[in-house]
Structure 1
Amino acid sequence: MTMDRRDTDESPHPGILRKKGFEFGFDPEACAACAGRCCSGDPGRIWVSEGEIAKISRFLGIHPVDLVHTCLYRVDGRLSIREVPADDGFRCLFLESGRPARCAVYPVRPRQCRTFPFWDRYRGRGRLLAEECPGIRNPD
């Protein structure tokens, strides 16, 4: 589940992604040994925009209306990808199990997914995030 490199800053360590304002780096190579912990666990929201819905539906070869009805649900006027029960709680509907876990819509995944782990909620919380994500580096 690597992030889009356009959303990161240059890092002095090859392969480690960094973003200004975050005390940690992220090694996308660690995803190969992970079961998709960033896409499973406690229930949450995976927000999608109209543009992302169009891209995902095109990628899957289904009509956007069908995607909305089968894969998304509405929360306070916004749309989120459905989650399904999993051993550790819930997982994104598009997360295919295995090691590594695989995202069925990876090339067109929503921005929220592309920018993980550089979310505002993790600023100053790198150590806590490192307990969940094996790709977090130097969380001081």
Structure 2
Amino acid sequence: MQKEGFCYSFNPKKCEVCKGKCCTGESGYIWITPAEMITLANHLGINVDEFRLKYLDKFGTKFSIKEKIFKDGFACIFFNEMDLNCSVYDYRPKQCRTFPFWDYFKENYEELEEECIGVKRL
């Protein structure tokens, strides 16, 4: 798969081999919008206030999905440690759905290549 403006392609079939490297590693922010909060809360069968308290951290006016300790680093709280994949895959936020096509990686392809075995420079 390719996206206009990016110097690389992405093979999503490699995700089966990778086992969640994009969901684990260094600490970071996993931004989530109010609409995405509602979607995930509904999926989990809880109200949005409970979802925010249990699964999100607030940074100023923005919310990020909490992380948990995993191996020598961190993982998204929704990372399934047994299956090594996302436990809310069909409901994940846009930030997760658009990976690896982030503007940041246009200038930092080498960093992406270390993280994602599914990318290949065009």
What TM-score comes out, normalization by structure 1 length? 0.82
Classify the secondary structure of the residue corresponding to 1:90: strand
Segments of 5+ residues of structure 1 without an aligned counterpart are: 1-16
Deviation at 1:18, TM superposition (A): 0.7
User: Residue in 2 aligned with 1:7?
Assistant: none
Deviation at 1:98, TM superposition (A): 3.8
Asked if 1:103 corresponds to 2:86, the answer is yes
Give yes or no for contact 1:72–1:79 (8 Å, CA) kept in 2. yes
| Count of residue pairs the alignment pairs up | 122
Segments of 5+ residues of structure 2 without an aligned counterpart are: none
Question: Runs of 4 or more off by more than 4 Å in structure 1?
Answer: none
User: Residue in 1 aligned with 2:99?
Assistant: 116
| Alignment map for 1:1-140 (pairs within 5 Å) | 17-98=1-82, 101-137=84-120, 139=121
Percent identity of paired positions between Structure 1 and Structure 2: 38
Give yes or no for contact 1:23–1:124 (8 Å, CA) kept in 2. no
**Structural RMSD (CA):** 1.3
Classify the secondary structure of the residue corresponding to 2:113: helix
What TM-score comes out, normalization by structure 2 length? 0.94
Range with greater deviation from structure 2 (48-57 or 123-132): 123-132
Distance 1:26 1:49, change over 3 A: same
